[in-house]
């Protein structure tokens, strides 16, 4: 839900914000991440789905099934 929050700069207005120097950033583990909404973009969603699928596979290999709530039944 954070990717489409109304308080973030609209995904279509990022170029204007960068040109004016009004883009704000989050500092996450030393990385500066632009506070921009991702309306109309699919790539971030695909990347997050890929990462979460790999995390789930890793958990299934290394944890007992009753430790994780999303285990196979």
Which residues lie closer than 8 Å to 59 by C-beta, 6 or more apart? 68
DSSP structure class, residue 8:
S
- The residue whose two tokens read 């929050």 is 5
pLDDT in tens, 12-63: 788 888 899 888 898 999 999 888 877 666 777 788 899 999 998 888 787 7
pLDDT band at 2 (very low <50, low <70, confident <90, very high): low
What value, to the nearest 5°, has the Cα angle with vertex 20 and ends 19 and 26? 90
Its pTM surpasses 0.75: no
Are 34 and 25 in contact by the 8 Å Cβ rule? The answer is yes
Helix ranges (H only) for 1-73 are 14-20, 43-62
């Amino acid at each position: 839900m954070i990717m489409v929050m109304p308080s973030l700069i609209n995904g279509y207005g990022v170029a204007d914000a960068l040109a004016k120097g009004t883009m704000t950033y989050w500092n996450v583990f030393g990385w500066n991440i632009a506070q921009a909404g991702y309306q109309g973009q699919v790539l971030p969603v695909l990347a997050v789905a890929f990462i979460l699928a790999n995390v789930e596979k890793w958990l299934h290999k290394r944890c007992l099934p009753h430790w994780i709530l999303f285990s196979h039944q």
